């Protein structure tokens, strides 16, 4: 494993911190204002339904956070919690009810689902116009083919806003390295960066020389799920580093059994080399929930033929 940069020139270079909380607060304020305008001018209150199956503690926390934020921005917010033993037909039946409900503009089925349920069948049951997670094949296809109207998954959508702000100029021609190829983060991030005319490299668990690959990136997006996998010595000086990873690691210094959240990038090392970097927590995480609100507002706007706002 590579060590931290050792030259004084490198260690002296302090990256700009990309403040995801501040940008998320801006997005949320815009969503709140636009939701109020939609209500006043068109009589529409955006509605978000979040469906949770089972009692996974992390999922419970995420779902509660989404519901709270939806209420905060003035949405109609509904949560359906189903027992872990719920069968697939019942879950799809609920999704179909929500598809028909005119008060609901966004449907999010929290993943992961219990092993006996085929998540693909459930995702395909959501009407594409209400698929605020952006996982339905229609939205995936629209994003990949550059067709208008794609609902973009929240985490990459938020990551792109942070990237654009950090670069502060068109991204065209920059080398972007995306580490991770999940449907939720890596693949849609690749599509978004391609649409910005970046030269995109996708790395994954079979990539032969990850360090060399990452070193080519003017932009590095890490969505791996491995604590501090990406070392500072792998980062091109001045690069923009977007750390999507959220990993709980033991933190005995905080007391017995305590943990702390770290990203997929070794933050201190990378911050000494990068031009700008997202912290964990406080970077991509807050953007994800803000973009869920933005996607729900957009779905509500489009349901009455209005153009949704943009957040660049």
Catalytic residues: 66, 110, 133
Question: Is the CB of 37 or the CB of 260 nearer to ligand NAP?
Answer: 260
Looking at beta carbons, which pairs linking 145-151 to residues 24 or more positions away fall under 8 Å?
146/195, 149/302, 151/295, 151/298, 151/299
CB of residue 193 vs ligand NAP: minimum separation in angstroms?
Answer: 15
Closest CB 96 distance from ligand NAP, rounded Å: 27
Binding residue for ligand NAP, selected from 50, 70, 203, 277, defined by CB under 6 A: 203
Determine if 186 is a binding residue for ligand NAP (CB under 6 A). Answer: yes
Instruction: Name the DSSP letter for residue 172.
Output: T
Whichever of 74 and 153 has its CB closer to ligand NAP, that residue is 153
Cβ distance to ligand NAP smaller for residue 226 or 306:
226
Neighbouring-strand partners of residue 107: 49, 131
Q: Where do runs of H (alpha helix) occur along the chain?
A: 8-12, 20-42, 57-72, 88-100, 119-125, 137-145, 154-167, 186-195, 210-215, 267-271, 284-303
Phi, psi of 293 (to 5 degrees): -65, -40
204 binds ligand NAP, rule: CB under 6 A: yes
Give the residue from 260, 135, 274, 153 showing the smallest Cα distance to 217.
274
Residues with Cβ within 8 Å of residue 73, at least 6 apart in sequence: 28, 31, 32, 35, 293, 297
Q: Which is nearer to ligand NAP, 92 or 157 (CB)?
A: 157
Contacting ligand NAP (CB under 6 A), which of 16, 197, 205, 259?
Answer: 205
181 makes contact with ligand NAP (CB under 6 A):
yes
Does 246 help bind ligand NAP (rule: CB under 6 A)?
A: yes
Interaction between residue 226 and ligand NAP (CB under 6 A): yes
Farthest-apart Cα atoms in the chain, separation: 62
Is residue 244 involved in binding ligand NAP (CB under 6 A)?
Answer: yes
Report the C-alpha dihedral over residues 246, 70, 165, 285, rounded to 10 degrees: -10
Considering the complex, state which of residue 94 and residue 220 has its C-beta at the smaller distance from ligand NAP: 220
Return the residue nearest ligand NAP (CB atom): 182
Report in angstroms how near the CB of residue 201 gets to ligand NAP at its nearest: 12
Question: By CB under 6 A, what part of segment 262-291 binds ligand NAP?
Answer: 284-285, 288
For binding to ligand NAP (CB under 6 A), which residues are involved?
Answer: 155, 179-182, 184-186, 203-207, 210, 223-226, 229, 244-247, 284-285, 288
């Amino acid at each position: 494993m590579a060590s931290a940069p050792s030259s004084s020139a490198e260690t002296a270079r302090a990256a700009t911190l990309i403040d995801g909380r501040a940008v998320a607060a801006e997005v949320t304020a815009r969503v709140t204002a636009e939701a109020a305008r939609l209500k006043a001018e068109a009589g529409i209150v955006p509605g978000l339904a979040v469906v949770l199956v089972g009692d996974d503690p992390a999922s419970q926390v995420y779902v509660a956070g989404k519901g709270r934020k939806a209420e905060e921005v003035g949405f109609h917010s509904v949560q359906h919690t189903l027992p872990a033993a719920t069968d697939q037909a019942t879950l799809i039946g609920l999704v179909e009810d929500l598809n028909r409900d005119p008060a609901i503009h966004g449907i999010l089925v929290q993943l992961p689902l219990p092993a006996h349920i085929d998540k693909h069948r459930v995702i395909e049951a959501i009407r594409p116009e209400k698929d605020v997670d952006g996982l339905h094949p229609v939205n995936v296809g629209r994003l990949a083919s550059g067709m208008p109207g794609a609902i973009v998954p929240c985490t990459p959508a938020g990551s792109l806003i942070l990237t654009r702000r950090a670069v502060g100029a068109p991204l065209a021609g920059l080398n972007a390295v995306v580490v991770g190829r999940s449907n939720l983060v890596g693949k849609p991030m690749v599509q978004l960066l391609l649409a910005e005319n970046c030269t995109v490299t996708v790395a994954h668990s079979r990539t032969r020389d990850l360090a060399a690959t990452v070193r080519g990136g003017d932009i590095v997006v890490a969505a791996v799920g491995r604590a501090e996998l990406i070392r500072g010595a792998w980062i091109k000086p001045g690069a923009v580093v977007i750390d999507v990873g959220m990993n709980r690691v033991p933190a005995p210094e905080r007391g017995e059994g305590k943990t702390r959240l770290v990203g997929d990038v070794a933050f201190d090392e990378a911050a000494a080399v990068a031009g700008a970097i997202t912290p964990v927590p406080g970077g991509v995480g807050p953007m994800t929930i803000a973009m869920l609100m933005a996607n729900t507002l957009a779905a509500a706007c489009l349901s009455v033929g209005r153009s949704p706002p943009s957040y660049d």
